[in-house]
Chain A
Amino acid sequence: DAGVIQSPRHEVTEMGQEVTLRCKPISGHNSLFWYRQTMMRGLELLIYFNNNVPIDDSGMPEDRFSAKMPNASFSTLKIQPSEPRDSAVYFCASSYWDRTYEQYFGPGTRLTVT
């Protein structure tokens, strides 16, 4: 298995621009998680999906952030408009729905907003 795939690996954008991060979970996994990691705040759960349905989005910082999972093999996290404080590493992870304690992480997308 290829593991969780994320793209792009690096993104540099200017404040105010739209940013879209992409994730392909491990085949067969039906739970998907989006995290943000910074030095100051560590790893924070933004949102997670079960069977393509958002279950908990309480970690999404504000309305500028949105996430979708149109099918079992693809998810996006969008930031519009982006701000410098959004600069972080964004991770996607996946698991089986009944084994959410066993998550597999992607390599992350390093986002820099100038």
Chain B
Amino acid sequence: QKEVEQDPGPLSVPEGAIVSLNCTYSNSAFQYFMWYRQYSRKGPELLMYTYSSGNKEDGRFTAQVDKSSKYISLFIRDSQPSDSATYLCAMVNTGNQFYFGTGTSLTVIP
């Protein structure tokens, strides 16, 4: 079993829709949870991170961590065509080991 599982998609939504992206994990030692956005042929760009459980909001983006279920989510409100990209979840454990999901490809159709 992989440390981090992420549905690769692809996910296609109309402009203005609410998007939900998710990852599951198996290691309870993860303590930081990150979401990166990667445009085609570019490096990943950090969107936001959360520490432990709870929610964090930044503009149209909300990150949610449920440690009891080992499940994290990224919600995008009022999605825009410029949100079309691959979204990678990532996690760091207490031993400073990093794991990335394989990414979910998102297309927002105008």
Which A positions have Cβ atoms within 8 angstroms of B? 4, 33, 41-45, 48, 55-56, 91, 93, 100-108
Contacts and interface: CB of A to CB of B under 8 A. Distances in A.
Interface string B50-75: 00000000000000000000000000
B49 A101 contact: yes
A33 B102 CA distance: 18
Interface string B15-56: 000000000000000001010100001111110010000000
B43 A106 contact: yes
B50 to A, nearest CB: 9
Contacts of A104: 46
Contact of A42 (B43, B45, B96, B100): B100
Contacts of B97: 56
Contacts of A48: 98
B92 interface: yes
Interface of B: 32, 34, 36, 41-46, 49, 88, 92, 96-98, 100-103
B45 to A, nearest CB: 7
A78 to B, nearest CB: 21
Contacts of B42: 107-108
Contact of B102 (A4, A42, A103, A106): A42
Interface residue SS majority, chain A: strand
Contacts of B100: 42-45
Nearest to A92: B43
A10 B45 CA distance: 20
B43 A100 contact: no
A102 B49 contact: yes
A4 B45 CA distance: 12
B32 A101 contact: yes
Nearest to B50: A101
Contacts of A41: 102
A41 B102 CA distance: 7
Contact of B92 (A55, A93, A101): A101
